[in-house]
């Protein structure tokens, strides 16, 4: 995705954040052609990948990202309880997707591993909640399975965003699964 496209998507996500957060929907259709569904993980991912590409921003893009980043902070901090509830729902859903992806992981790893990254970005939002413990345990079991499958490799995505995903924390982005 281009910087302008990612900035526009983040803008749309944040403009629809309040109704999304108040809904029971985990993945919100924003109605924008080719836009991914709005989710908390999607917001966190866009902010992180855009931040990693700051050096590529022109002045207008830098100003827009600064505005959106402040707005995102404000929105996430305004409704903490709602954000935590929605985060737990998204983690549950993404864990199911991630678990089911293991059968075909070697065939589409760079795409499938997005789910694991989203989980890593979401977990800190609920780390203090007792309700998150079962998710931490399940993710730990899945990580053990993944570690047994991975061969070390270079960063699996575009190197432009590698700085946003250090090897120590995002080890699964620096490996590819063995073909069975």
pLDDT tens digits, one per residue of 106-143: 889 999 999 999 999 999 999 999 999 999 999 999 99
In the chain, what percentage of residues exceed pLDDT 90? Answer: 89
Please give the residue range of the domain that contains residue 160: 3-177
Is the separation of the CB atoms in 68 and 7 below 8 Å? yes
What is the average pLDDT across 99-105? 90
pLDDT at 164 over 80: yes
Q: How many CA atoms lie within 13 A of 172 on its CB side?
A: 25
Res 33: pLDDT:
62
156 pLDDT band (50/70/90 cuts)?
Answer: very high
Q: How many helices (H) does the chain have, and how many strands (E)?
A: 7, 2
pLDDT at 180 over 70: no
Residue 114 token pair: 């997005």
| Domain count along the chain | 1
Mean pLDDT across the chain, nearest whole number? Answer: 94
């Amino acid at each position: 995705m281009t910087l302008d496209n990612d900035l526009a998507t983040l803008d749309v996500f944040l403009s629809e954040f309040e109704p999304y957060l108040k809904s029971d929907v985990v993945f919100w259709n924003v109605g924008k052609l080719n836009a991914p569904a709005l989710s908390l993980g999607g917001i966190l991912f866009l902010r992180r990948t855009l931040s990693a590409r700051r050096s590529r921003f022109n002045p207008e893009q830098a100003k827009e990202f600064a505005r959106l980043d402040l707005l995102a902070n404000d929105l996430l901090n305004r409704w903490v309880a709602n954000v935590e509830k929605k985060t737990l729902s998204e983690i549950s859903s993404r864990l199911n997707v991630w678990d089911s992806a293991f059968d075909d992981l070697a065939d589409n790893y760079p795409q499938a591993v997005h789910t694991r990254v989203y989980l890593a970005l979401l977990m800190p939002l609920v780390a203090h909640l007792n309700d998150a413990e079962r998710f931490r345990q399940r993710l730990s079991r899945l990580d053990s399975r993944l570690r047994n499958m991975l061969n070390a490799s270079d960063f699996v995505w575009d190197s432009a965003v590698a700085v946003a995903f250090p090897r120590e924390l995002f080890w699964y982005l620096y490996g590819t699964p063995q073909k069975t």
